Structure 1
Amino acid sequence: MSGKRLTLPRPRIGLGLAALGRPGYINLGHGEDMPDGRDVEAMRAHCHAMLDTAWQRGIRYVDAARSYGRAEAFLGDWLAERADEQRPAVGSKWGYTYTAGWRVDADVHEVKEHSRAVLDRQWGETLEALGFPPVLYQIHSATLDSGVLDNAAVLERLGELRDQGVAIGLTTSGPAQAETLARAMEVEIEGRPLFDAVQATANLFEPSVLGQLEKASEAGMAVIIKEAVANGRLTARNDRPKDAPALQTLDAVAGRHGVGRDALAIGWLLDHPFVDMVLSGAGNAEQLGSNLRALDITLAPPDREALAALAERPESYWSTRGGLDWN
């Protein structure tokens, strides 16, 4: 990946902590992945076990965020017990505040605010939780309507962090991801592009941002993919009747490669050479092992043709995602 302003470690699969730092998430069947006890200590132990497994399986990049419950604190505790050479690279995010109070049935799980005050507060919280600066610090779910890409005070502070050696990125969500990324690519501080990386939602059901991601890669940004298995819709857990025809196609191709739906979905993303990293949102060791089989997949032209037919209209995909239950 020559020319990138940020070099991410190999392999090209990292571990995301969105489902491991809090008791509730929107992944299909998420509750089945969690320990019997959902108290903080049980979740901490489960998260640490997953981090141990990820390291043993070769994963060298971990993704967290202030809004992922206690994910940063769990990760910081785990890192503190390891030597420097035994630590993965860490990326984190600011802009959402966790508000669920460790409840799965909370009315509001997280609150978004892209202000300078929140950036300053959460940067300090991230440093305290991790014990050192993350390699990559990202605006969490930047959108055009949030105004963050035009907020001079925020951009100036992010430029200061960049000058201190922290790579700066943004994550994107929603049907307008491509437009948001295109705007972000125009942002410069002191004559240099501000953003070193983008983390976008892309998968077989929602590939609409891939063209803009390729342009971002060509411009020197590292490209990270989240929600590669569409919050469980591209896994064996999906029994939604509306998805049955697409899953039949997915199963046929996966069967030819001797892998599960999840590995094929991730392997399809890795088939795009401009993708630097795909995040696994695995909730247990078995899922992580299955995800990692994606590294061994080589797709043929007929595979790509069959899988291309699974794409949904972005508006439809995001409407479905918005209706998934916290569990």
Structure 2
Amino acid sequence: MPFARLATATTPTSHLGLGLAAVGRPGYINLGREKDLGEHRTVETLRTRTHELLDAAYAQGVRYFDAARSYGRSEEFLADWLKTHPDLDDIVVGSKWGYTYTADWTTDAEKHEVKDHSVQTYDRQRAETANLLGAHLDLYQIHSVTPDSPALTDKELHAKLAELAATGVTIGFSTSGPAQADAIRAALTVTVDGEPLFRTVQSTYNALETSAGPALTEAHDAGLTVIVKEGMANGRLADPYAPETLKAVAEETNTGSDAIALALILREPWAGVALSGAATAAQLASNLHAAAVDLNDDQLSRLAALAEEPRTYWEKRGRLPWH
């Protein structure tokens, strides 16, 4: 499995990855985006920013890079960067299918992405990803599986994914919503010819949304690599928006709230990779301090009290504006 390289990497940041959701398109729901990106968000501007982030991440030990068909031009930007770094053989590239980007490079579209887990969408988006990333693709994930997703029961789709797995591409899935744990457990039962189909799971887990934790433990115990997304809750756990408790712990440890938020994830024994969603090189550098954070029992207890009910968390997330 390609993620074995991350587990044995010698760099201290090997378990931190870089997600490209925030820089692959002009509009997203992260707080503070107007300050991070400003108003000038042309394709070339964000291509350059993405390449700068990838350079900085690699130089600081990051080896997993995460894109998606719905992240605007993230796959294209990543593919361009890979062409200029042909000698890199120690990175892992993941992408996702299942959402189609529909905002046409605007920030005020009525719909920014449309979800569809049908075989037809898989065939189309798999071809699009292959055209851009080719042999660089290590991991292909179903984007945002929920308990009612047809991707959990579609045998034709499972057969196609198994065919891709036979070529050496790892098959995974991501989850979203208040019933993430149910989706994870359902996905663990999906098999093709008696063998588990999925080898990775990417879920939202952070100081405010911890409900998937037990199911992620089960996934890890079943042999899946766990990738954690939205570790900073779309900016709600980063300065200046972080809760006062988180800010206080950050001050006590002489680091940023963002690093504390990611450190909470890295300490979980099931966490294989925690994604940084940085939009600037400075944010990335701050995020990577998480690898050196050591939290005591008192701090962990105080931070545990920040957890929200899953439906409350996802309702708040659903109200975040695209900007």
Q: Does TM-score exceed 0.5, indicating one fold?
A: yes
8 Å Cα contact 1:257/1:297 also seen in 2: yes
Judged with a 3 Å threshold, the aligned counterparts in structure 2 of structure 1 residues 183 and 5 are, in CA distance, closer, same or farther, namely farther
Cα deviation, residue 152, structure 1: 0.9
Cα deviation, residue 36, structure 1: 5.1
Match of 1:296 in 2: 292
User: 1:222-258, CA deviations, whole angstroms, 9 ceiling, x for partnerless residues?
Assistant: 00000000000001131xxxx7xxx121122112211
State the alpha-carbon separation in 1 of the partners of residues 130 and 304 from structure 2: 42
Match of 1:277 in 2: 273
State the alpha-carbon separation in 2 of the partners of residues 260 and 8 from structure 1: 29
State the alpha-carbon separation in 2 of the partners of residues 266 and 105 from structure 1: 30
The correspondence for 1:249, drawn from 242, 245, 249, is 245
The correspondence for 1:145, drawn from 137, 144, 148, is 148
Gaps of 5+ in 2: none
Alignment length (residue pairs): 317
Match of 2:51 in 1: 48
Q: What's the secondary structure of 1:292's corresponding residue?
A: helix
State the alpha-carbon separation in 2 of the partners of residues 295 and 71 from structure 1: 26
Cα deviation, residue 40, structure 1: 0.9
State the alpha-carbon separation in 2 of the partners of residues 28 and 270 from structure 1: 23
8 Å Cα contact 1:172/1:199 also seen in 2: yes
The correspondence for 1:323, drawn from 305, 319, 323, is 319
The correspondence for 1:28, drawn from 28, 31, 41, is 31
Deviates more, 1:9-18 or 1:315-324: 9-18
The correspondence for 2:258, drawn from 243, 249, 262, is 262
Q: List aligned pairs for 1:157-196, cutoff 5 A.
A: 157-196=160-199
Match of 1:91 in 2: 94
Higher relative contact order (CA 8 A, sep 6+): 1
Compute the TM-score of the two structures, normalised by the length of structure 1: 0.94
User: 1:77-96, CA deviations, whole angstroms, 9 ceiling, x for partnerless residues?
Assistant: 11011123266210000000
Q: What's the secondary structure of 1:170's corresponding residue?
A: strand
Verify: 1:119 aligned to 2:122, yes or no.
Answer: yes
**2:66 corresponds to which letter in structure 1?**
D
Match of 2:111 in 1: 108
Cα deviation, residue 302, structure 1: 1.2
8 Å Cα contact 1:5/1:196 also seen in 2: no
Gaps of 5+ in 1: none
4+ residue runs of structure 1 moved beyond 6 angstroms?
none
8 Å Cα contact 1:62/1:91 also seen in 2: yes
Q: What's the secondary structure of 1:85's corresponding residue?
A: coil
Cα deviation, residue 146, structure 1: 2.2
State the alpha-carbon separation in 2 of the partners of residues 185 and 112 from structure 1: 22
Cα deviation, residue 37, structure 1: 2.4
State the alpha-carbon separation in 2 of the partners of residues 31 and 8 from structure 1: 36
Q: What's the secondary structure of 1:45's corresponding residue?
A: helix
State the alpha-carbon separation in 2 of the partners of residues 208 and 151 from structure 1: 27
